[in-house]
Amino acid sequence: MDTSQYLNVFMDECQEHLQILNQSLLDLEKDPENIDILHAIFRSAHTLKGASATMGFNKMANVTHAMEDVLGLLRKQELQIDPEIINLLFDALDLLEALAKGITEGREEDIEVAGILQRLKKYSQQSEEEVTPADSNDRRKKLQLRYTTEEKENIFKLLESGSFLYHLDIQLKKDCLLKGARAFMILRELESVGTIIRTIPTAKELEDEQFDLEFIIGLCSKEPIEKIVKLVKRVTDVQEVKSESVKAEEILIERRESKPQYVETAAAKIETPDSAEQKKDEPAKKSSSPVHTGPNIYPTVRVDIRKLDTLMNLIAELVINRSQIEQLSSEIRDQRLEETVEHLNRLTIDLRDQVLKTRMVSIDQVFSRFPRLIRDLAKGTQKEVELRLSGVDTELDRTVIDEIGDPLVHIIRNCVDHGIEKPEEREAAGKPRTGVVALDAYQTGNSVIITVADDGKGMDPEKIGASAVEKGFITKDALNDLSDQEKINLIFLPGFSTAKEVSDVSGRGVGMDAVKNKISALGGVVSISSVPGEGTKFTIQLPLTLAIIQTLMIQLGEEVYAIPTSFVDQTISVSRKDIKILRHQEVTLLRGEVIPLLRLQDYLGIQGAKNSDLDELDVVVFKSGEKRVGCVVDSLLRQQDVVIKSLGGFLGDIPGIAGATILGDGRVALILDLRDVA
C-alpha cells in the first residue's frame, strides 16, 4: 500500500500525540498516583504505535510498543512509578520526537533505537520472569463470564428463538501491534452472525487496548460453533480460539435464585425439541450491542498550508484590485458606483478576515513545549523553577507560530541560566527557593504581545558594559555615553555573552542576536526591561499576519510611503516654534515627555521633501518598548490595507524598507520598516 499520500495526516497526528505524551508525563511526575494520567499516556502511545506501524515506520512502532509494555505493567501495578522510570519514559519520548523529525527529513533509518529498546525491555522482561505459569493459569480461571439479570433475560429470549449460547476464549499473537483494531474486527465479524451479550474486558476497554492478549466473548447465534471459530480465526493475528457451548441449565442455576418460576418455564420451552424445531427459522432478536460507543465527533477539515497560502495570495490580489476600483470611483464620482464600491469594500474586508482566521492557530502549540524545557533546565542547572503560562488561547498566523518557538526557547534558557538564582542564593536574598518564569501572550490591535519574565537577579548594566568592553564590542569612552537601557541592549550584539563558563545551556555567544534577527524577520520587535535583584522581562511584539497589513499612508516629496500601523503609537501636529535642540538632536515636548524628532527624508536619504519649509509639521510617533521617536513627514494621507510584496534578493536587505505594495493608481509604494528608528 502506498502510504505517502497519508504522510501529512500522520505527521499532524504524531505531533499531537507527542505533545500529549510530553504534558502527561510531566503531570505523572507530579502526581504518580493518578491512574487517569497513566491511562492517557498508554492510549497515546498505543495510538502512535498503531499509526506508525500502519505507515511502515518500524522504529517508531517498536519504541512505542516497548513503551506500551512498560506502561501496561505500571497500570497493573506490577511496576512502581519512580524517578528512574519517569526519566526512561522521557528519554523514549525524546527518541520519538527525533524519529518524527527524521521521518520528515527522510533519515529515520539513521537514528539508533537499540539502547532505548533494551532499557525498556529490561523492565518488561523482569516482570515476565516474576509471573509463574501457575499465576497465568489463575488469571485464565478468573476470566469467566457472569451475566447481569438484564443480560440473562436477553439470553433466554434468544435461546427461545433457536439460538445457542457460546463462550469464546480468544488469544492474540504476542507480536500483534494493533490489538484494539483486531478485537474490533473480531467483534464486527461476530455481530454479523449473532448477538454479542458480554465481553471481558468490556468493549470499550478492548477498543482502548486495556487488555493483554486474551479476551472472552459471550455470543448468542444460530450458527454452529465450528463456523464461528473459523470466522474468528480468519482475522489476522489470532493465535488461538477456545470455545464451549453453554447449556441452558447453567444459566438456569443462576436464575433460580431470583425468578425460579419464570426461569423454569423458559427453560422448559428451550429444552423441548419440538419447540426448538418450531422456532428454528424465526429471526433472532438482536440486542443493542455494546461494541463501540465513540465520543462526539465534530466536523473538521485538515487543509494543506500551501492551499491557504494560495487563497491568501488571491485575496491579496483582490485587495489590490479593490484599491484600483476605489481610485476609479473617486475620479468618476458616480453615486451608484460609489455605493457598489463601498459594498465591495465591506465584502473584501470580511473575506480577508475569514481567510486570516483560517490561518490562525493557538499559541498553545508553542507554549506546550516549555513545561518540559523548564523541567530539564531546572535539573541541569540544579535550580528550582516554576513555569506559569497565561494567554495560551491567543492566536497567531501559522507561519509566525512555526518560527517563534526557537527564539522563545533561547529567551527561556537565558532566564533560567542567567536570571534565576540557586535555591540557597534566593533564600539568602529573602526570596522563595523556587524561581518563577512567566509566559504571557495577548492581542492588542493588529499585533500580538508575548512577554517572558523571571523573578531572578535581573541584569546589571555595569556588568554587561564591562563585559562588552573586555571582549572588544565597544570602547570604554563609547560606553560612558550609553544609558543603562542601552547597556542592557548590548546583549543583542552577535557573539556577546556574560557567562564565564561554557555549559550545555549557555556561554557560547549564540542566542540573543539570533533571537533579535529571527523576530525582526517576522516583522516584530523585542525589548528588555530589567530591575537588578527583582528580575527581567522580555517583550516581543509580532504582527498577527505577514500577508496583508494595515498601514498609514504618508507623503514625502513626490512619493507615497506606507508605514505599518502596528508600530505607530500616534500622530501629532507640531509647530516649528515647539521644536528645540538638545544634544544636537531636534526634540519636542509631548504631554511632559521629551520626544526626539527625526526627519524621515534624512533617515531614508531621499530628496524633495517639503517639511523643512513648513510651519506646522505632521509627525508619526513610533514606540519600541518604552522608547518613543517622532518621524517628521510632509503630510498624512489615510489608513489603508496593503499587500506586502518582496523586493527580491537584491533589494530585500535595504535598511528601513520592509517591502512594497501596489496602490490603486498602479504606482508602487515602499513599505517602511522603522523599528530601528525607535
223 in the same domain as 104: no
Known catalytic residue at 410: no
Residue whose C-alpha is closest to residue 170's, from 211, 134, 138: 211
Higher pLDDT, 225 or 277: 225
pLDDT per position as a tens digit, 131-183: 444 444 444 443 457 787 788 888 888 888 888 899 999 999 888 877 888 88
Can you give the CATH number for the domain in which 605 is found? 2.40.50.180
CA distance 564 to 542: 12
Q: In degrees rounded to 5, what are phi and psi of residue 185?
A: -65, -40
Please tell me the least confidently modeled range out of 124-133, 326-335, 379-388, 409-418. 124-133
Cell of 231: 470466522
Quickly state the pLDDT bin for 276 (edges 50, 70, 90).
Answer: very low
pLDDT of 279 above 70: no
Q: Are 214 and 172 in contact (CB under 8 A)?
A: yes
Of the three residues 505, 525, 543, the one that is the final residue of a domain is: 543
Determine the pLDDT at residue 136. Answer: 42
Determine the pLDDT at residue 93. Answer: 92
Determine the pLDDT at residue 585. Answer: 84
Known catalytic residue at 84: no
Residue type at 224 in one-letter notation: P
Q: Are 213 and 176 in contact (CB under 8 A)?
A: yes
Higher pLDDT, 351 or 304: 351
167 in the same domain as 119: no
517 in the same domain as 388: yes
In a domain, 330, yes or no: yes
Quickly state the pLDDT bin for 323 (edges 50, 70, 90).
Answer: confident
Residue whose C-alpha is closest to residue 372's, from 72, 114, 30: 30
For the CA atoms of 171, 176, 178, 184, what is the dihedral angle to 10 degrees? -20
Determine the pLDDT at residue 668. Answer: 84
Quickly state the pLDDT bin for 501 (edges 50, 70, 90).
Answer: low
Known catalytic residue at 46: yes
CB count in 10 Å sphere of residue 193 = 13
User: 321 is in which domain, residue-wise?
Assistant: 305-361
385 pairs with which residues across the strands? 435
For the CA atoms of 566, 571, 576, 581, what is the dihedral angle to 10 degrees? -40
pLDDT of 1 above 70: no
Q: Are 164 and 222 in contact (CB under 8 A)?
A: yes
User: How many domains does the chain contain in total?
Assistant: 5
pLDDT of 376 above 70: yes
What does pLDDT average to over the chain? Answer: 80
CA distance 577 to 574: 8
56 in the same domain as 148: no
Determine the pLDDT at residue 547. Answer: 65
471 in the same domain as 448: yes
433 CA to centre of own chain: 31
Helices (H), 143-178: 149-160
In a domain, 284, yes or no: no
Positive/negative CA dihedral, 190, 194, 198, 204 = positive
**pTM of the entire predicted model:** 0.62
Determine the pLDDT at residue 275. Answer: 40
Mean pLDDT in residue range 400-422: 89
532 in the same domain as 407: yes
Q: Kindly give the interhelix angle for 512-521 and 398-414, rounded to the nearest 10 degrees.
A: 160
Residue whose C-alpha is closest to residue 485's, from 356, 625, 594: 625
Positive/negative CA dihedral, 244, 249, 253, 259 = positive
In a domain, 369, yes or no: no
Of the three residues 543, 558, 586, the one that is the final residue of a domain is: 543
352 in the same domain as 392: no
pLDDT of 653 above 70: no
Mean pLDDT in residue range 368-390: 91
Mean pLDDT in residue range 595-608: 84
394 in the same domain as 524: yes
Determine the pLDDT at residue 416. Answer: 92
Cell of 504: 550545555
Identify the H or E element spanning 18. Answer: helix 7-30
CA distances from 467 to 376, 505, 508, 537 (A): 28, 19, 14, 21
In a domain, 254, yes or no: yes
CA distances from 299 to 296, 302, 397, 572 (A): 10, 10, 22, 50
613 in the same domain as 566: yes
pLDDT of 560 above 80: yes
554 in the same domain as 536: no
Can you give the CATH number for the domain in which 62 is found? 1.20.120.160
21 in the same domain as 147: no
pLDDT of 458 above 80: yes
CA distance 524 to 540: 7
In a domain, 603, yes or no: yes
Identify the H or E element spanning 11. Answer: helix 7-30
Determine the pLDDT at residue 647. Answer: 72
30 Cβ contact partners less than 8 Å away, ≥ 6 residues apart: none
pLDDT of 519 above 80: yes
Quickly state the pLDDT bin for 497 (edges 50, 70, 90).
Answer: low
Q: Are 437 and 371 in contact (CB under 8 A)?
A: no
CA distance 273 to 252: 18
Active-site residue identified among 17, 22, 46, 154 = 46
Q: Are 639 and 565 in contact (CB under 8 A)?
A: yes
Residue type at 524 in one-letter notation: G
Quickly state the pLDDT bin for 297 (edges 50, 70, 90).
Answer: very low
120 CA to centre of own chain: 27
327 in the same domain as 410: no
Active-site residue identified among 414, 418, 489, 611 = 414
Mean pLDDT in residue range 84-106: 90
Peptide bond into 273 cis (omega under 30): no
Q: Are 42 and 68 in contact (CB under 8 A)?
A: yes
11 CA to centre of own chain: 12
Can you give the CATH number for the domain in which 324 is found? 1.10.287
Active-site residue identified among 17, 62, 65, 68 = 68
Determine the pLDDT at residue 4. Answer: 63
437 pairs with which residues across the strands? 387, 454
- DSSP assignment, residue 284? P
For the CA atoms of 83, 80, 45, 140, what is the dihedral angle to 10 degrees? 170
